Chain A
Amino acid sequence: MATPTIETPRSGRMTPGYSRTTTSRGNFEMIAWLFMRLSGAILVVLIFVHLYVNLVAGDGISGIDFGFVAGKWANPTWQIWDLAMLWLAMLHGTNGIRVIINDYAEKNSTRMWLKGVLYTATVVIVVLGTLVIFTFDPCPVINGVPHVADYCPAA
C-alpha cells in the first residue's frame, strides 16, 4: 500500500473537510490588500497633480470659484481625471475604513451597523460626484435667468 501524501496546510490541496477557511469568501481579502496598493500608487499621481493645479499654480486657493471649476471641466481630460480620482479615492478610503471597523468593533451588530452606514455614504458620494461631473453646465439658466460669464453665450 502506497503511503498517503499529506499536503502542507497552506497548499490548498488538502481534504476539504480539513480546510479552515470556507471558500465562500474566496480571496476577497487578498484582492482588497492588492487594491489598496495599486490604487494608492495611482492616487499619488492623481492627487498631487490635483493639489498642484488647484492650490499652487496660478492664483492658488484664491483663484477657486465657479468659473475655475467650469474652466477645468470644459476639458474632458479633467473630467476623466476627477472621475478616476473620485472612484479610486472613495473605494480605497472605504476599504480602509472597513478594515478599521473590523479591527475595533467587536460586537457583530456594531460592525454590521457601522459598515452599513459606511457603504451607504460611499454609494451616495460616488453616485453624486459622478453625476455632477457629467451633468455639469458651465452656463446654467436658473429660473429663466442665464448665468453671465465671459465664456457663456450672451443672453
Chain B
Amino acid sequence: MPKTLSPSKLIPAGTLYRGREGQWSWVAHRITGVVIFFFLLVHVLDTSLVRVSPEAYDAVIGAYKNPIMGLGELGLVAAIVFHAFNGIRVILVDFWKQGPKYHRQMLWGVLGLWALVMIAFSIRHLSHVFGG
C-alpha cells in the first residue's frame, strides 16, 4: 500500500496569516500608535488648563496623582518607548541596505533596549507614585 499523508497534514489549519515577528511587530506598532495619539489629544487638553487658571491646572494634575494613573503613565511610556524604538527599526528596514535581512534581529534589539529602559524608568517612576 502506498504511503499517503494523513488528511490533517494536507488541510491548512485555518487561514491566519503567519508573518511571525514582522507581522506582530506591525500589530504592536499600530496599536501603540493609536493609543499614543488618543493620549496626546487628552494631554494637550489638560495642559491647556494652565491658560484657565493655576488652580484649575493643579486640580486636574492633582487628580492624576494616584496609583492607578501612575500605572497608566507607566503603560503609556512603555507604549511610546516601544513605538519609538520599533519606528527606528522600520526606518532602518526601509533605508539601510542590510535592513530587510536583519529585521528580525533588530526586533530583538528593540525589545531588549525597551526592557532595559522600562526597568530603569519603572524604578524611578513607581518610587514617585508609591513613595508619596
Q: Which residues of A contact B (CB under 8 A)?
A: 37, 40-41, 43-44, 47-48, 51, 55-56, 59-62, 64-67, 69-70, 86, 89-90, 93-94, 96-97, 100, 121, 125, 128-129, 131-132, 135-136, 140, 142, 147, 149
Contact = CB atoms under 8 A, between A and B. Distances in A.
Given A41-B91, A66-B57, A132-B48, A96 B33 contact: yes
Given A43-B84, A51-B77, A69 B41 contact: no
Interface of B: 30, 33-34, 36-37, 40-41, 44-45, 47-48, 50-51, 53-54, 57-58, 61, 65, 70, 73, 77, 80, 84, 87-88, 90-91, 94-95, 121, 124-125, 128-129
Nearest to A145: B53
Interface on chain A toward B: helix, strand, loop, or mixed SS? helix
Contact of B61 (A37, A44, A65): A65
Contacts of B37: 93-94, 96-97
Given A41-B88, A55-B73, A66-B50, 12 more contacts: A37-B95, A41-B91, A47-B80, A56-B121, A60-B124, A61-B65, A61-B125, A64-B61, A65-B57, A69-B57, A132-B47, A136-B51
